[in-house]
Amino acid sequence: MTVEAAMILPVFLLFVVFLIYIVKMAFITMALQVTVSNTVKQLATHMYPVAMVIDQQGEAEGAGKKSGTNPGDEVLLESGGQQPAPPKLTFDELADTYNQLFPPPIGDWIKSTDLYGQFVDAAHQAAGDTLVKPLMKPYMQDTILNIDRIHVTRVTLPQWKKKENMMIALEVSYTMPMRVPFLSQALVLQAKAAERVWVGDTSQATPGDGEGGDESGRPQIVSIEPNPLKPGSRAKIKVKVAPNQTSHVTVFYKSGESTAKFLGDKTADVDGYIEWEWHVSGNTTKGSTVKIVVETAEGNKTETQIQVKES
């Protein structure tokens, strides 16, 4: 019996240690996924100021092209007579630029090589570890994760200029050493999350804009208060359309369409402004996304999304 026990006991202990490691790996995987999801939600919620700045920059560039000057040149020349800085390229624009230097299919071959893929991955990881990784720390305080073992492998941002793919995605990896006898390798756990960015209607209206709305006749969302929404409180949305135009607002919660009073059809004043005020139920799911649809009597529609406060 002593010989059999001496042979079986190490195997049994190794099996127990391996089970403990599997359980720990499951906890780390869940904590990593929750951290990535919360980080992406935070980034998506705070993209609205970025969208406003980019839209204003685009309007300034369009005005500069019409007048034959660059608005950035005027600011630099007035400040010190310095020449404007050359435009900076993104990763995709840089790749397309080098791809155009070579006749096809050489450029496509270069982009399909492993070396090119490693370069792109390294660039994403360097930028992600520097910019995105600090945003993950608040969500890791009460977890078993180690910030030094996390690496951001890929960050996908919206295409602001084209208004396409308005999603932000984050992919991270976590290096977990195997604390098992005779195994000195490390496992790499991965987690990925994506969220549609909330940018609202960045072409906000101001008093005195004339007929109201944009050139296509779509209503413009001027403001939403509070932002994010608070369960159990009142919310208000202000919209600009054509003067004396009738519009309809619909609010969609996670559970379905809102049945709150004072929503529905309203007629704009002589300046084209309409305000709706309604009560947000105290049972509204915290952290969820609410969709608001504003539609005119002519069928022109504007949609936006807003978050519900988590606490």
How does residue 162 score in pLDDT terms, banded at 50, 70 and 90?
Answer: low
pLDDT in tens, 89-114: 444 554 555 455 445 554 554 455 45
pLDDT of 260 = 79
Position 98 in a domain: no
Residue 231 CA, chain-centre distance (Å), reads 23
What is the mean pLDDT of the segment spanning 225-248?
85
Q: Is 125 helix (H, G, I), strand (E, B) or coil?
A: helix
Residue 276: CATH number of its domain: 2.60.40.230
Reported pTM: 0.46
pLDDT band for 289, please (50, 70, 90 cuts).
confident
Residue 49 lies in a domain: yes
Say if residue 192 is in the same domain as residue 251: no
Same domain assignment for residues 13 and 147: yes
Task: Specify whether 43 is located in the same domain as 189.
Answer: yes
Residues 180 and 241 in one domain: no
| 264-278 residue pLDDT tens | 888 888 888 888 888
195 in Cβ contact with 45 (< 8 Å):
no
Looking at the structure, tell me whether residues 110 and 256 fall in a common domain.
Answer: no
Annotate 228-244 with b (16+ C-beta within 10 A) or e (fewer): bbeeeeebebbbbbbee
CA 50 to chain centroid: 11
Compute the average pLDDT of residues 116-134: 60
Residue 296 is predicted with a pLDDT of 85
So what's the pLDDT on residue 206? 40
Does residue 273 sit within a domain? yes
Q: Which residue has the tokens 């709305």?
A: 213
- Regarding whether 182 and 224 lie in a shared domain, the answer is no
Q: Is the pLDDT of residue 251 over 60?
A: yes
Are the C-beta atoms of residues 139 and 38 closer than 8 Å to each other?
A: yes
99 inside domain: no
**HEC string for 149-211:** HEEEEEEECCECCCCECCEEEEEEEEEEECCECCECCEEEEEEEEEEECCCCCCCCCCCCCCC
Domain assignment of residue 81, yes or no: no
Domain stop point among 196, 229, 248: 196
Structural domain including 275 reads 220-307
DSSP state of 61: H
With respect to residue 174, please indicate whether it lies within any of the assigned structural domains: yes
If one counts the domains in the chain, the total is 2
95 in any annotated domain:
no
In a shared domain, residues 148 and 18: yes
**Local confidence band at 207 (pLDDT 50, 70, 90 cut-offs):** very low
Residue 111 maps to a domain:
yes
Domain boundary among 133, 163, 196: 196
Q: What is the pLDDT of residues 72-94, one digit of tens each?
A: 444 343 444 444 444 444 445 54
Do 183 and 50 lie in one domain? The reply is yes
- Residue 71 clears pLDDT 70, i.e. is over it: no
Task: Compute the distance between CA of residue 286 and CA of residue 185 in angstroms, rounded to an integer.
Answer: 41
Comparing 21-25, 118-122, 228-232, the range with the smallest average pLDDT is 118-122
175, 112: one domain: yes
Indicate if 44 and 153 belong to the same structural domain.
yes
Task: Examine the domain organization and report whether 6 and 115 are in the same domain.
Answer: yes
Specify the pLDDT at position 89.
46
193 beta partners: 170
- Residues 6+ away with beta carbon under 8 Å from 99: 107, 108, 110, 111
Answer yes or no: do 274 and 148 share one domain: no
Q: Are 167 and 158 in contact (CB under 8 A)?
A: yes
